[in-house]
Amino acid sequence: MNFYITTPIFYVNAQPHLGHAYSTIIADTVSRFQKIAGNDVRFQTGTDEHGDKIAEAAARSNETPREYVDRISRMFRETWPPLHIEPDNFIRTTDANHINTVRSILQKVHDRGDIYFSEYSGLYCKGCERFLTEKELINGNCPDHLTPPEPITEQNYFFRMSKYQEWLIGHIEQNPEFIQPERYRNEVLSFLKEPLEDLCISRPTSRLTWGIPLPFDDKFVTYVWFDALINYLTGIGYPDGPDFARYWQGAEHLIAKDILKPHAIYWPTMLKSLGLEPYRKLHVHGYWNVNDTKMSKSIGNVVRPADLIEECGADSVRYFLLREMSFGLDSSFSDDALINRHNSDLANDLGNLVSRSLTMVKNFCDCKVPPAGAMRDSDRELAAAATGMVAEYRKQMEVFAFHRALREVWKVIAMANRYIVNNAPWELAKEPASRERLDTVLYTLLETLRLITLTLHPVMPATATKMKDALGVESPPDFDSQAQWGRLVPAAAVTPGAPLFPRLKKATPAPAPADNRARQSSQKAARPGRTERGKP
RNA sequence: GGCGAUGUAGCUCAGCUGGUUAGAGCAUACGGCUCAUAUCCGUAGUGUCCGGGGUUCAAGUCCCUGCAUCGCCA
């Protein structure tokens, strides 16, 4: 099966934060997982660079829009490699081929009669880049930006979205998996019970020039959402590149809940108008709060991925984000929670298991995979749990239930730790007569570690690679050929390494909420210059 | 105001189509082991399963209602 997993293209009006990292880590994990499952996968992320807000942000920092978007887009691009995120394509909406594709699509939709010219007057909020209704206003202000909208009358081009409303309702109803989790599907369906309005897809150049000119009227540029969504097509070479036919059928978009409407409503109707099949699935995730407070610039609690990597390493961050959040729901981030997971799940449970197992193979078996003798019940029990784990893990990963998938793995890690205590290899090692038993126990342990490693590749690629190398596994990870019990070959070399996850000390003992800001700023102060551009 | 979701041990949460004495992890206390990253293993718990009413032989699990929190829409 072919897979085309995408993140949203991130709007370059802000720097990369925890939320961006979460989306992109999920996509990377899914991409790695599907590859290991033997599928043909393409993974795309990128940046969204047109619109009012970008033009204004550029003006504020005394840059041309071009300079500004180049700078911020580069920050996004450079955020991913340290998190072990490896997209196949990083797209920018200012790329020449994207601009051409958007223009050709606009022309196509126009030719089909789905775009018309009309006058519209209303209250326009620059922050939202849209017209607001009277009822939305709070004390005459935009509820989000707390500024008064401007009354504007202008002529614009509209996309006949309403024409496809009935079709869209039918498609969502007939395809229960189209929008996931179900709560968001219900939300979209309930929104669609009301008549859909047509979508204004242009902005007059008198008001905004930082956009893609309409091919049929150069006094207008394209509305930023109409431009942005098309990235999913441009990135695989629509209309006639070979990758388009190869991947579009497998398109699965991943988004945060704030951009549900453009993806669940605008986008499928645009595709329908173009005569294309809709994407296969839309996966919607929730928000990360920080210490139970909404993350925002004004509160000053924005979490930067780079700081977390510095704190405990990329793999630990990836594990935490996937393990801690039930996909689809909101969750709360805190340094304490991150460190707790790192210490208890990674250092104590997994890291220590690897360490003690490999040390015993080194001490008792001369760093070689021992031959397995006759299996006893406790061996069979662990082996069955480990092979069962891979199957259950795959099932959960396929439906984006990352927290459940990882829980299955950690059940087996706990079981392996118990298995060691129950079989006490250090006692067996004292008695030459129990040589075969010792070998069998350690072989069973190594095999269990091998299967655990297989499941960890998508989530913690660097750690899994270290484990794989330590175990002497040579071939690249692959579920079909490596999920069976007993693949390790006796006498092969085992190479113990440094601890995978050194334990971390908690930064401060249970900081009171009021202390957070002071603490964060003092942390920043402790690392002078790290955010200053161009300073050594 | 309309629609929907959620409310389970100190904390974070599991509990599918109703069925034995309500579970896991973390945190806490005590005990054990020594291969291991002061790690691991065992034992001990505590819960009006938000309140109230109802259906049923049987409800955390279904229905009604109230409260609280959140989301979408208006």
Protein-covered nucleotides on strand B (Cβ within 7 A): 2-5, 12-14, 25-27, 32-42, 70-74
Dihedral of the CA atoms A422, A426, A432, A434 (nearest 10)? 10
Using the 8-state DSSP alphabet, how is residue A348 labeled? I
Which amino acid type is present at position A367? C
A139 in the Ramachandran plot: left (φ > 0), alpha (ψ -120 to 50) or beta?
Answer: left
Which tens digit of pLDDT belongs to each residue from A281-326? 999 888 888 876 777 777 777 888 999 999 899 999 999 999 888 8
Please indicate whether residue A294 is annotated as part of the active site. Answer: yes
Task: State the burial class of residue A264 (Cβ atoms within 10 Å of its Cβ: 0-12, 13-18, 19+).
Answer: buried
In Å, what is the separation between the CA of A16 and the C1' of B37? 33
Q: DSSP labels for A266-312?
A: IHHHHHHHHTPPPPSEEEEE-PEEETTEE--TTTT-PPPHHHHHHHH
Given A128, A171, A281, A403, the catalytic residue: A128
Give A507's pLDDT tier (boundaries 50, 70, 90): low
Is residue A369 scored above 60 in pLDDT?
yes
Least confident segment among A54-68, A144-158, A224-238: A144-158
Distance of CA A224 to the CA centre of its chain: 23
Is residue A124 scored above 60 in pLDDT?
yes
Out of A38-52, A177-191, A501-515, the most confident range is A38-52
Mark A426-447 as b/e (b = at least 16 C-beta within 10 Å). Answer: eebbeeeeeeebbbbbbbbbbb
Least confident segment among A203-212, A231-240, A331-340, A472-481: A331-340
Q: DSSP labels for A79-99?
A: HSGGGT---SEEEETTSHHHH
Please indicate whether residue A261 is annotated as part of the active site. Answer: no
Which tens digit of pLDDT belongs to each residue from A231-262? 999 999 999 999 999 999 999 999 988 899 99
Give A213's pLDDT tier (boundaries 50, 70, 90): very high
Give A533's pLDDT tier (boundaries 50, 70, 90): very low
A348: nt with nearest C1' to CA: B39
Query: Which pLDDT value is given to residue A524?
Result: 27
Least confident segment among A357-366, A409-418, A523-532: A523-532
Domains annotated on chain A, with CATH: 2-285 (3.40.50.620), 335-482 (1.10.730.10)
- Measure the CA–CA gap between A483 and A479, rounded to whole angstroms: 5
For residue A79, the tally of other CB atoms under 10 A from its CB is 21
Looking up tokens 């704030």 gives: A258
Is residue A523 scored above 60 in pLDDT?
no
Mark A53-74 as b/e (b = at least 16 C-beta within 10 Å). Answer: bbbbbbeeeeeebeebbeebbe
Pairing of strands A130-132, A217-222: unpaired
In Å, what is the separation between the CA of A391 and the C1' of B26? 27
Give A130's pLDDT tier (boundaries 50, 70, 90): low
Out of A141-145, A440-444, A521-525, the most confident range is A440-444
- Average pLDDT across chain A, whole number: 88
In Å, what is the separation between the CA of A267 and the C1' of B61? 39
A425: nt with nearest C1' to CA: B35
Is residue A457 scored above 70 in pLDDT?
yes
Q: Which two tokens stand for residue A396?
A: 């959960």
Please indicate whether residue A253 is annotated as part of the active site. Answer: no
Query: Which pLDDT value is given to residue A348?
Result: 94
| Cis before A511 (ω within 30) | no
The dihedral of CA A525, A531, A532, A536: what is its sign? positive
Neighbouring residues of A244: CB distance < 8 A, sequence distance ≥ 6: A233, A236, A237, A238
In Å, what is the separation between the CA of A330 and the C1' of B19? 34
Q: Within chain A, how many helices (H) and strands (E) appear?
A: 22, 16
Taking each helix axis from N to C terminus, what angle separates A314-324 and A461-471, rounded to the nearest 10 degrees? 110
Given A219, A294, A395, A524, the catalytic residue: A294
Please indicate whether residue A98 is annotated as part of the active site. Answer: no
Average pLDDT of span A375-389 = 92
In Å, what is the separation between the CA of A420 and the C1' of B28? 26
Neighbouring residues of A328: CB distance < 8 A, sequence distance ≥ 6: A180, A181, A183, A184, A284, A285, A286
3-state secondary structure of A200: strand
Please indicate whether residue A367 is annotated as part of the active site. Answer: no
- Measure the CA–CA gap between A476 and A319, rounded to whole angstroms: 21
Query: Which pLDDT value is given to residue A515?
Result: 30
Query: Which pLDDT value is given to residue A532?
Result: 25
Which ipTM did the prediction report?
Answer: 0.89
Please indicate whether residue A365 is annotated as part of the active site. Answer: no
Q: Where is pLDDT greater, at A398 or A82?
A: A82
| Cis before A509 (ω within 30) | no
- Measure the CA–CA gap between A92 and A507, rounded to whole angstroms: 38
- Measure the CA–CA gap between A409 and A359, rounded to whole angstroms: 22
Average pLDDT of span A425-452 = 96
Given A219, A261, A297, A395, the catalytic residue: A297
Q: Quote the percentage of chain A above a pLDDT of 70.
A: 90
Average pLDDT of span A507-515 = 38
